[in-house]
Amino acid sequence: MAEIDVDVAVQAGEFTLEAAFEAGPGICAIFGQSGAGKSTLLRSVAGLVAPQRGRIEIGEEVILDTDEGICVPARERRVGYVFQDDRLFPHMSVQRNIAYGARGAAQPEASEAEQVVAMLGIADLLDRYPATLSGGERKRVAIARALLSQPRILLMDEPLASLDHARRERIMPYLERIRSETRIPILYVSHEIDEIARLADTLVILSQGRVVASGRTPALFARTDLGAWLGQNGGGVLLRGIFRHFDPEYRMIEVDLDGYTLHLIGPDDERDLPEPGTNLRLRVHARDVAIALSPHGDLSVRNQMPLVIEYIEKVDNAYSIIHGLIGLQPLRSRITRKTVDDLGLHAGMTVYALIKSAAFDRRLVREQHGSRKIHAWRSGSQDD
């Protein structure tokens, strides 16, 4: 059953938003360019915008149904909201800022508060004030405050937009932990494709107030008709593999990809290694995939997997995209048109995809949800 079920129509001046989608547990990313209606959609779920027509269901509770005359007030929707600007109170310490999030809600148990603080790595910041924090630290505090409000759903409106690349990279693991260690559904607005590829379980693509496509993120990345919105030009795919083994001597890991073995560089910290059997998401750019007619044992490229060519797409006068399958999973390779002709490549042909281990992100993105150490507060004491 869907954790989130949204179908709304909003008229805001000359702009009209009509969006309908469902999403399961984890992070549902709302993706699109500026003006697509992403923030309007979030504000509708939060109750800050009144749709002219719509129905919104979170878990098993209907918070909006215009046909039935249901409209739960914003203050009663138990929504945790993380804005682009963190909106921390400058005169309050970090401790008081995050405690403020619980005002008007059933107070979380001390252990739950400690888990949130530990999960976001802010224990050493509790006595400090917002003016003394870095951008990434302020963002983590804002997220902690939202989580401690005991939300039924967490809304994040481009939470990393104000951070530079380095700070974004540092805060991403914390967002991954929220995804894997909580049972709170998350709507995550972004226009950055790298964030979406790494974080989103479900993806909703908005354009000019309409849903272009929605569904599981790997499935949408595999679609060739969405390049104009995903900005990939046929480039990237998300592969799904299973973690099998780690070799500490060489810091290499083995991942099962539909019966074939991928060799990847392991994370810098062995504590970030998943348990054997964990499902992983691996992003691969077409530019990082070479093609050979046969496997070669005398190359430094360890990942050499059979690829069945589905079709060849001419990109321009210089390049083509090879669309193929490894097992049942799609893979693309961007090579020159001359290489296509020299190798005699054609649809139905089996070749070998060569992918360097370094082409994969060292951070292992888990597809499945973890132990959920922080329980769903929507089933907490105030509802019992």
> Tell me, what CATH number does 325's domain have?
2.40.50.100
145 and 123 in a common domain: yes
Mark whether 145 and 245 lie in a shared domain.
no
Are 176 and 201 contained in the same domain?
yes
Is the residue at 384 inside a domain? no
- The percent helix, strand, coil of the chain (3-state, each to 5) is 30, 35, 35
Residue 214: CATH number of its domain: 3.40.50.300
The answer as to whether 48 is a domain residue is yes
| Rg of the Cα atoms in the chain | 23
For residues 112 and 198, membership in a common domain is answered with: yes
With beta carbons less than 8 A apart as the criterion, state whether 6 and 45 touch: yes
Q: Verify that 20 and 168 share a domain, yes or no.
A: yes
Same domain, 262 and 340: yes
What residue numbers bound the domain in which 142 lies?
4-231
Instruction: State whether 199 and 277 are in the same domain.
Output: no
Last residue of a domain, one of 165, 198, 231: 231
What pLDDT is recorded for position 363? 65
Helix (H) or strand (E) segment spanning residue 350: strand 350-355
How many domains does one find in the chain? 2
Q: Is residue 266 situated within a structural domain? A: yes
35 and 58, same structural domain?
yes
Tokens for 9?
Answer: 């129509």
Q: Does the residue 374 lie in any domain?
A: no
Contact 352, 291 (CB under 8 A): yes
375 in a domain, yes or no? no
Residues 20 and 139 in one domain: yes
Residue after which a domain boundary falls, among 231, 261, 285: 231
Q: Which amino acid is at 134?
A: S
Tell me: do 251 and 343 sit in the same domain: yes
Question: Which of 186, 216, 231 corresponds to the end of one domain?
Answer: 231
Q: Is residue 383 part of a domain?
A: no
Same domain (yes/no): 123, 258 = no
Mean pLDDT by 10 residues, the chain (384 residues): 86 92 91 90 94 93 95 92 87 90 56 83 92 91 90 91 82 84 88 86 94 92 81 72 93 93 87 86 91 92 95 90 93 95 96 92 62 36 32
Amino acid at 216: R
Is residue 10 located within the same domain as residue 60? yes
Please report whether residue 377 resides in a domain. no
| pTM attached to this predicted model | 0.80
